[in-house]
Structure 1
Amino acid sequence: MIDGAMVWDENGNLSMATTTFTYQVIWQGVIDFSGATPSYSLSIPGFNPANCVFMIIPTRAQDVQSAENDGLGNSKSYPYVTTAAGQVTVLPKNPSAGASVGQTRIVAKAYAIKFST
């Protein structure tokens, strides 16, 4: 018996198994845009976009859009994230958006995860 998570594709072929790679949470914290915080600039040693991901998971039910045409869509949208070696920047909206575009107001748990084979 093999222990761990396994994922199969639509044809029944094994496409991922935790026996073939490992992962490590290298950073975790709360991203809170409910107040006046304009952005987050996170220094994360060991973060490399080539083998790491940055995930954001809403922690409050009120921060999840009920439908695509939800009138509060921008305030419930995911923040804008950019990554670089050792650095993750999280903004409340796309920097190219106009001043009249609303920004996110979510509170979320965030994780930086490193993968290796």
Structure 2
Amino acid sequence: MALFGLRVFNESGQLAMDTNSFTYQIIWQGVIDFSGSVPSYTIAIPGFNPANCVLMIIPTRAQDVQPSESDSSGNLRSYPYVTTAVGQVAVLPKNPSATTGLQSKVVSKAYAIRFAT
């Protein structure tokens, strides 16, 4: 029998999550664009709860994928800083406690996903 879906394994190689054992729903999707002068995003997402939801950010342009850790433009290609709360997600171009460094300039697709076992 062929298997289809997603399987996630933990650091010990044991199956931690399998799409056959839980359901998920995309409750929001949109573009996060830091290529211009947008300082941050605060997105209201009804039904979002950090206890059973995640926000996934996926780069949409090849130029936003860092080729190696030694790449000097890494901060420009880094993933944005995300904080979550019930009903909303905040996405910033860099860690708010950072005192130096460049901020992210990526363009990415974001998905808020609710899951249940």
Tell me if both proteins adopt one fold, taking TM over 0.5 as the criterion: yes
Residue 115 of structure 2 corresponds to residue 115 of structure 1: yes
Distance 1:15 1:89, change over 3 A: closer
Which deviates the most, 26-35 or 5-14? 5-14
Q: Tell me the secondary structure at the aligned position of residue 63 of structure 2.
A: helix
1:60, 1:22 → 2: CA distance? 29
Larger radius of gyration: 1
TM-fit CA distance, 1:7: 2.7
Task: Give 1:18's aligned residue.
Answer: 19
2:32, 2:96 → 1: CA distance? 18
Distance 1:2 1:81, change over 3 A: same
Task: Give 2:7's aligned residue.
Answer: 7
TM-fit CA distance, 1:105: 0.2
AA of the residue aligned to 1:36? S
Task: Give 1:51's aligned residue.
Answer: 52
Taking only aligned residues, the RMSD between alpha carbons, in angstroms, comes to 2.1
2:13, 2:105 → 1: CA distance? 41
Q: Is the 8 A contact 1:55 1:110 kept in 2?
A: yes
Task: Give 1:92's aligned residue.
Answer: 93
1:25-104 equivalent positions in 2, closer than 5 A = 25-98=26-99, 100-104=100-104
Task: Give 2:106's aligned residue.
Answer: 106
Task: With the length of structure 1 as denominator, give the TM-score of the two structures.
Answer: 0.89
Q: Tell me the secondary structure at the aligned position of residue 53 of structure 1.
A: strand
2:37, 2:13 → 1: CA distance? 48
Distance 1:24 1:72, change over 3 A: same
Q: Any unmatched runs of 5+ in structure 2?
A: none
Q: Any unmatched runs of 5+ in structure 1?
A: none
TM-fit CA distance, 1:67: 0.8
Q: Is the 8 A contact 1:6 1:14 kept in 2?
A: no
Q: Is the 8 A contact 1:4 1:17 kept in 2?
A: no
Q: 1:42-97 CA distances to partner (integer Å, 9 max, x unpaired)? A: 00000000000001000000001111011101100000000000010000000011
